Structure 1
């Protein structure tokens, strides 16, 4: 595990926590589910580039899909 992997795990995990809290307060299941996904997905991927690509995709997901 390199420093970039650890950096992306911390950044996307904390953003995921923010999405989850926002979704819980606004009763938005899209933000809540995206927040959970952002906190969990780093456990399944080892590449820093993969973490970055999936993380950025998940960050913009609630903007395009309204649940």
Structure 2
């Protein structure tokens, strides 16, 4: 793991924590699940491009999917 992976992981985990808190407080499933995903996936993904790609998709998903 290099420095870029670590910093991207921290950034997306912080965003995920915000989504998780919002989803739990508002009782909305999509932000809650995306928040959990954003907090957990950096532990399992190697490679900066894949890390950023998945992070961008999971960050944008609650804005486009309204349930």
TM-score bracket for the superposition, by shorter chain length: over 0.9
Aligned-partner SS, 2:53: helix
Unaligned runs of 5+ in 1: none
Unaligned runs of 5+ in 2: none
- Quote the RMSD (CA, aligned, Å): 0.8
Moved over 6 A (4+): none
C-alpha displacement at 1:48, in angstroms?
A: 0.9
Q: How does 1:5-44 map to 2 (within 5 A)?
A: 5-44=5-44
TM-score w.r.t. the length of structure 2 is 0.94
Paired residues, number: 67
Question: How far apart, CA to CA, are the structure 1 residues paired with 2:30 and 2:45?
Answer: 23
Match of 2:47 in 1: 47
Aligned-partner SS, 1:4: helix
Question: How far apart, CA to CA, are the structure 2 residues paired with 1:7 and 1:50?
Answer: 14
TM-score w.r.t. the length of structure 1 is 0.94
